[in-house]
Each structure stands twice: as C-alpha cells, then as structure tokens.
Amino acid sequence: MPEPVRPISLADVEAARARIAATVLRTPLVRLELGSGAPDIRLKLENLQPINAYKLRGAANAVAMLSDAERKRGVWTVSAGNAGQGVAYAARAAGVPCTVVAIETAPQSKLDRMRALGAKLVLVPYDVAWRAVEDHAFDGVDGTFIHSFDDHNFIAGHATMALEILEDAPDTAAVIAGIGGGGLITGVGSVMKAKRPAIRILGAEPETAAPYAYSLKQGAPSRFPAWQASFVDGAGGQSVFPRMWERMKPVVDGAIVVTLDETRKAMRLMAEKSRVIAEGAGALPVAAALTGKAGPGPIVCIVSGGNVDLKKFAELIDI
C-alpha cells in the first residue's frame, strides 16, 4: 500500500537537490523572444536533461533512497516513456534491474531509449497501463514499484527545479507546468508556495485530456468524460487520482486548457524562435501562456521534455 500523502517540505527538496546533483543537469532558463505586446515568457529547458525530460530528477531521487533489500529486488514502473527512461537511467547507474510496463503506442524513440538504458519492457494498451498506475500493481512483474507521479520521493526530486527557477528568475509572476499525473506541478508548486506564495502556479492540459480542469469544475477528483489519445502523450491523463488531488489542491492555482492546434503552434514557435525541440507535453505550457490567461508575466514555462520522433515532429509543425 502507498504511504499516506504528506506535504513536500523544503527540507525534502534541499536534501533531494544534494542527492541528485551528480546525476541531473541544472537546466538553463531562457527568454522566448516574441516582441512587444506578447507575454514575457521564459523557458525552463528540462528537455536538455540526459534523458531529454525532467523525470530524471524524480527517478534519481527515488532510486537513491531505496533500501539494500529493495535494490536487490529490482525496480519497475509504468510509463509512456519519460518516467521509464528516468527510472531506467537511475537504476542502471545504481546497478539495479529495471522493468517498465510501457504504453505500446508510445513514440518509438522513447521505447528504443528505454531498452538502450537496460530496461525490460512489457508493452500494454493505454487502459491497462493506466489501471496499473491506479492499482500500484501489475500481475507478472516483480520488484519494488516506483510510481511515476504518486510518490513522495519522486515529487521531491521534481521540486528541485523550482529552487533553480527562483534563483534564475526571482521576478517570476507565474509558473505553468503540464499536468499528466500531477507530480511535476505538485513539486514545483510546493516550493513556490513555501518560498514565494504570490507566484501563480498553473497547470496546462490538452482539450482532449483535461481531467484536472474538469475536476476543478466538479469540485472533486474526476474522470475526464471525453478522453482521447493524441500526440500529447506525456500529459493529459484519463482522471485525477484522489491522492494527487489532495496533493495538488493546496499548491495549484488553476488550469488552462489548450487546443491541439495551439500546442502544435507552440512547438513550432519554440523551434523557430529558440531552436528548442519540445514534445507535445513540453509545449503545453507555452501554448497556455500564449492564450493570455496567465497574465503578462514574467511566466516560466516548464519545457518538460523533448522526446519526440523527428519525423513526427516535422509533421506536427508543418502548419
């Protein structure tokens, strides 16, 4: 059974920062130059991590905190690709066997990278993977389960980027993060609300999979009624888990829903203006910032990952 939900403390985050310093990159924060009249947008480039995604932060912290007995058992996780890469990367460095229950429709580049990092893959449909995430269990896979978002140590690892944001952009007015399971925004929001509570923390979701925005309207964690798969595979779950609702509510100020076309345009804009390759989930925050709903800024948009097949990327930005 998962441990009870508890707040992410600054002490947890500072300890995680020291623990993962040799593994993760302190990523740059760069301005997206859009000209006068546009929001002041800064990009937190987590796509530059060794696995090209922020998930390495949480995975490195979670693996580092395993007991000797847990390491001997090996680890496993459920992932559309980025969390699986993070856990596989950290597990390989620690000499720990790793299995990933992976969504069979994940981009081939993500599947190939997980295998290259030494992970054993068990490919399953999206619904089966989501059920395993809900149940914290999957028949036939042994080892210590590292949840890809509902895990205190994973979230504390993600939260380390918030310390960097505050150091590099102390004038930040808002931070936007894509919401998949909710671990990223919980970690970042926990630090911001502890150190700079006036900074607005906003989630970004695609119109085809926006359970957090829907849950806010319902006033309770809910299942999104019209979920559809899309190229935004790293964000937009089928539902908000009650445990993650409990984590997010105190530290998240709202959600912005964007269209798939707006997301594709944001992918293209970042490529044109900053030469940044972002996957769909990584472009969601920029698409949200461009709606104007987060205000004039400065807005920090977390570019959560850049793991996208280049052929697919070219097709998506051909607009």
Q: What is the Cα–Cα distance from 188 to 182, expressed in whole angstroms?
A: 10
Report the phi/psi class of residue 150: left, alpha or beta, with left for phi > 0 and alpha for psi in -120 to 50: beta
Please list, in sequence order, all residues whose beta carbon lies within 8 angstroms of the beta carbon of residue 13, skipping any fewer than 6 positions away.
156, 159, 160, 162, 163, 187, 190, 191
Q: What is the Cα–Cα distance from 11 to 3, expressed in whole angstroms?
A: 19
Among 267, 270, 276, smallest CA distance to 52 is for 276
DSSP code, position 48: G
Query: What are the structural domains, with CATH classification, of the chain?
Result: 10-53+155-316 (3.40.50.1100), 56-145 (3.40.50.1100)
Of all residues in the chain, what percent are helix, strand and coil, respectively (each to 5)?
Answer: 45, 15, 40
Among 116, 50, 111, 121, smallest CA distance to 86 is for 50
Coil, strand or helix at 280: helix
Q: Per residue of the chain (319 residues), give pLDDT as tens.
A: 778 999 999 999 999 999 999 999 999 999 999 988 899 999 999 999 999 999 999 999 999 999 999 999 999 999 878 889 999 999 999 999 999 999 888 888 889 999 999 999 999 998 898 888 888 889 888 899 998 899 999 999 999 999 999 999 999 999 999 999 999 999 999 999 999 999 999 999 999 999 999 999 999 999 999 999 899 988 988 899 999 999 999 999 999 999 999 999 999 999 999 999 999 999 999 999 999 999 999 999 999 999 888 999 999 999 7
Does residue 298 have a cis bond before it (omega within 30 degrees)? yes
Tokens for 11, please give them.
């002490």
